[in-house]
Each structure stands twice: as C-alpha cells, then as structure tokens.
A and B are shown apart, each in its own frame.
Chain A
Amino acid sequence: MKIASLVLSLMFFTASHAFAQTEANTISGTIKEVKPHFAGEHTLIVEETELVLLVDKKDKSGKSLEINKPYKDLLLDKKGVFTLNPKYTNKSFKFTYMVNGKGWKCIETISEIKK
C-alpha cells in the first residue's frame, strides 16, 4: 500500500513537473513601443514587459522577424527600422513566449483579443 502511494505520488510529481516545464508563458496587452534589441532582434514593449521577436532564420536575408502568419504586417520595415503598423495601435494582443538561454522572453505566437 505504501509502495503504491509512493509510486502514485512520484507519478503525480513527475507529471506536474513535466507540465510545469512545458507550460506556455502568456501575457496580454497593447504594444506600447517597438525598438531594436540586440543582434538584429526587436523588442515589443507590451504594457511593462519586454518581449523579443527573434529573427526569422528561414529568411536568408536575415532581415525578417519571426511573426506568425496572420500578423506578418504587425511591423512595418522602413529601411531596416521596424515600427508598429498603425492599424494595430491600441489593439490588445495575447502573446505566448518562451524564455531562452539569455533570459529573453521570446515571442512564439501572437493573437488579437477581440472585444
């Protein structure tokens, strides 16, 4: 009985730990600012949080950022300087992100919150 309890506890711990590792981080809010970050990356300031848009490695030019398809037009590229497309000003978004080796909150997905 004790062994069974132990095994169950272990399974619960393992499962909860595994979920904790893979659970997506999310944040919602409006994009207050877009600014260059480091090594070609850009940062979106969402409320008080800095979220990093990684460079899209599939684009050999190295000048595209990773933005999921519906929001390819989120930023406008003006001679290498990215700015927020005015049509998304004051729009609320939900972001999922992962924390990379540098501690950056790297955006994985973006979706608009419809009111």
Chain B
Amino acid sequence: MKKKLLTAIALVITGFYATAQSIIGIDVSSYQSTVNWTQVKAGGVTFAWAKATEGLTVTDAQYINNATGGVAAGVYMGAYHFAHPDTHTTTAQAIAEANYFLSVAQPYIVSCELPPALDYEVSSSLSWTAQTAWIQAWMNTVKTATGITPILYTDGSIASSLGSSLASYCHLWIATDNGSATTIPPSPAPPAPPTSDLGSWNPNWSFNQYSWTTTVPGITTGGVDADIFNGTLTDLKNLMVCTPPVCHTYYASLPYTTSFENTWITDSCANIAERLPDIYWKSSIGGTTPNGDDYWHREDYSGSDWTSITTGSYTPAGSVGNHSARFHNDPPPAGSTGALDLYIDLSASGNKNIQFDYMHNEASPSPFVFNVLLSTDGGSTFPTTLFTISSAQVSSWTTQTFTTSATSTTSVLRFIATDKGAHDVGIDNLSVAKVGTTDIANVTSEEYEIMVYPNPNNGEFNIAAKDASKKLSVELYNNIGQFVMREDAKDGENIIHLTGLSEGVYFANVFMDGVKTTTKKLLVIK
C-alpha cells in the first residue's frame, strides 16, 4: 500500500514536472490562414514549423508570412517540405523536390532557428530501400545547400520500416497523435512515443506530434498540430544550428540569366539575410566605406545594411519585371564602393555575351565609377576590366552589351560601383551566354528546327520539333540552375505542351533521341 502511494506521488510529481518543463511547438500551413504570431508566442509556443513547399510546384500561400512573422515574434521557426514519393519516384525527382524547396525556403533558413524538415507521410509503392534512398537524396541536397542536416517527420509505420542509415543521419520528428490534451501547455503531458514507432532511432526521438486538434491562441481556424520537444530549451538550442551555415562557392553554368525578381537569399558567408540574388553570387564592400553599409541588394531592400534609401529617382524599379539589383550609398559622405560577384563557369569555347540593363541618374560623374571586372582564379584577383561606364548619368534603363573570350571554369564577374550618394546605381535583366545560344522571342533554331512559342508566356507554352521521327524531350531548369521538370513527347508526336510554371526565367534543354540539341530561354510573366 505504502509502495503504491509513493508510486502515485512520484507519478504526479513527474507529470507536473513534465508539463511545467515541456517545450511545446506547433506546425502550420495555409490551412491555418493568417496567424497572429505574437499571440502564439504569448500562448506558450516556443517553436514552429511552417509548410514551405509540396512536391515540385506547390508553394504554401502563408509560408513567407509565417516564416517572417514567427521569427519577429520570437518563435523559433523552421520550414518543412511535403514530399511526394508517390508521384515523383526517382532519386533525381527527390533532388528536384529538394531544389524546389530550397528555391522558396532557403532565404529564410538561417542560423539559430529550427532545421528544415521533410514531411514524409504519403504512401509510396517504392520498396523501403528505395524510399530510404529517396529521403537520403532529398536530405543530402538540402544539407549541401544550407550546411544544416534536415529533420525527418513521419509516422511509426514508416519510421520502423526505413533503412537504419537514416537514423544515424538525421533527427526524428514522429507523428503519434497520442496526447489527449488539446491546450498549450498540454495537461496531462503527452506520453512518449511508443518505442515500436521509432524503428532504428529507438530509443531516440526529437519531436513528437502528439495532437492534430490543439487550440492555439492567435489561430482562429480550429485545431492545430501540436508538438513536444524531447529535451530542455538548452537541448533545443543545441539542436538548432547556432553557428553560421557553411559558406559555399557555386559556379553557374551557361547560359545564366536573372532579372533579380526572387526574394534575395541569405549570404551564408556573413549570415546576413536577403543579400544575394541566388547561390551563385557573393557580395562585398570595397574601398572607403564611411558607414560600412554599402552593399548591393534588391532595390526594395529594407534591412539593416541600408540605413536609409537615398532620395532621388530610381524608377522604374526594374527594366524587366518589378525588381533590380541596386547599389546604395548611405550618405554622407559619398564615395563608397560595393561589389556584387557572379561565380560562373565560362569554360565553353568561343566568345560569351554579357548583357544587362543599367541605370544611374547622378548628374556629375566624380567620384562615380562603375566597372565589370573579370577574375579567372575564383575571385582571388581581378586583373581584367571587361567594361566600364565613365559617364555616370544614364537616366533610364539602358542595355549594355560586351563580350569575353575567357574560358576559366572558375570565372567571376564583378559588378563594382562607387556611388556619389544622391542617386543609386542599378542593373537588371542580366544574361551571360555563349554567343548565339540564347534569345527571347518566338524562336526557331535553324540548326535543329526547334520552335518555342509563345515566348514570353503566362506559364503555358509549346516546344515543337519539325522532325517527328526523333523522340523529343525537354528538361527545364530555373534561373539558378535548379531542375524543375522533365517532359517527353508522346510517341509519334513532335510537340510538348508545358503548363503551370511560376513567374520567372527558365532554360529548356531540348533533346532529340536523347541527344541535347539546344537550350532555349523562356520568360514567364503572370
């Protein structure tokens, strides 16, 4: 009797302790509509994952609001991707899904926040070995790009069937729905996941999704997924990556193009958000920097690099689309310098065409300077000036074109400006391509007789070959070189109809009987 009493007391104390110490989080998506993150934080939520993407085409409509709103409210935030191994069965497609996730979420994956997560819950006809390889391919891709090992979210039937290699690679977020409480903090505290659910992770688990119907302050749409962390707040901070992510160098392939439309990504070398157009760029200040704030950014940047936007004309904000790359000198004094470097593989033989639109409204040149420099040693030295603009005032977007015959695989094009301060420098609509390989128009490749139409388009277009005797295939890449999709023409047909593309610039590699014949540049404007 005495023993039973002591046991009961111990259980009550343990339960109270677990409740009092529990680190509780939620995961949300557009199903939760607009979330009031200040109320969520005040309601006892420590961390949250927000759905960013699904498959190859779906971006959650609330992702950016959730990612930025949660961080602003002091909630530790992470992004998750909903996997579709049911329809995208190959590891190449797993990589494509990872790249699609990165194209949306990478700008918001920063240090001292939750690692990204792979939501793996859809049934697949693949073997467990193949599913393990699928997950590993997705995770490797995200880890390479971010320097952060993602977390796997799944349920017990899947976790207990996957290969053991994953358990030593990534943390487990297990879905159990095994808590009866629907409030935060949960009372009673949810039980630990059954060990039978943990597979090769047993006895380890990091997060338990114990409820799908929890009421959370700040979310008015109904029940929410609730999660408990298996550890203390210190343990959670240790799990999060609180050192700057790995600083990578990626070289873009030809042809490369950008109109700087996407939200700029985090500079992982400096751990500064929204400082680079994509993974192929690096940014630096140069020369005299009176305020230390003189970096290039997308023209509508409002972060801490720029203390104030200079008065004066910067319109229109881009020559193509709505945005451009802008160098802004915080006055006074004038004369600071900033460089934006494009790392690019120019190893293809022959001349390369470099083209961009340019604007700068400064009336008097001095101390204005704008140069495009070339490095062929990965950015160690810039001995060659490819192009210079000596007259500062170019009052409207004007196209600049020049060529280089450089063939280095580790080339760097440096766009470097010294600004007076009253008016900013802008570039837009940049393309670097082997002479004769890209053009935007309803085009016909004489050599291969490939037609692309209409172009530009609204996300729906055709690629056709005159010769129907050869098998026509297309691989589509976005403007940062990430695989988007592959389509094959039906047997006997010489046309491929593509739909559903988001706004942006794409490159279509066209194959005839499996042999790459040409690359076409596509512009999708919504």
Contacts and interface: CB of A to CB of B under 8 A. Distances in A.
Interface residues of A, number: 18
Given A39-B176, A54-B177, A102 B225 contact: yes
Interface stretch (A71-79, A82-90, A93-101): A93-101
A100 B223 contact: yes
Contacts of B234: none
Contact of A104 (B28, B178, B180, B212): B212
Contact of A100 (B175, B176, B212): B212
Chain A interface SS verdict (over half): loop
A100 B182 CA distance: 12
Contact of B224 (A39, A41, A55, A101): A101
Contacts of A102: 29, 31, 212, 225
A40 B222 contact: no
- Candidate in A38, A39, A41 with the most chain B CB atoms within 10 angstroms: A39
Contacts of A98: 222-223
Contacts of A39: 121, 155-157, 175-177
B155 A101 contact: no
Interface string A44-83: 0000000000110100001000000000000000000000
A106 B223 CA distance: 11
Contacts of A41: 177
Contacts of B220: 21
Contacts of B238: none
Interface in B144-181: 155-157, 175-178, 180
A55 to B, nearest CB: 7
B214 interface: yes
B156 A101 contact: no
Contacts of A103: 29, 31
Nearest to A41: B177
B42 to A, nearest CB: 19
Contact of A36 (B32, B123, B225): B123
A100 B123 contact: no
Contacts of A106: 212-213
B121 A101 contact: no
A57 B179 CA distance: 8
Contacts of A21: 220
Interface of B: 26-29, 31-32, 121, 123, 155-157, 175-178, 180, 194, 212-214, 220, 222-225
17 contacts: A38-B175, A39-B155, A39-B175, A40-B155, A54-B177, A57-B178, A100-B212, A100-B213, A100-B222, A101-B26, A101-B28, A101-B31, A101-B222, A102-B225, A103-B31, A104-B212, A106-B212
Chain A to chain B: the 3 pairs with minimum beta-carbon distance, closest first: A39-B155, A101-B224, A103-B31
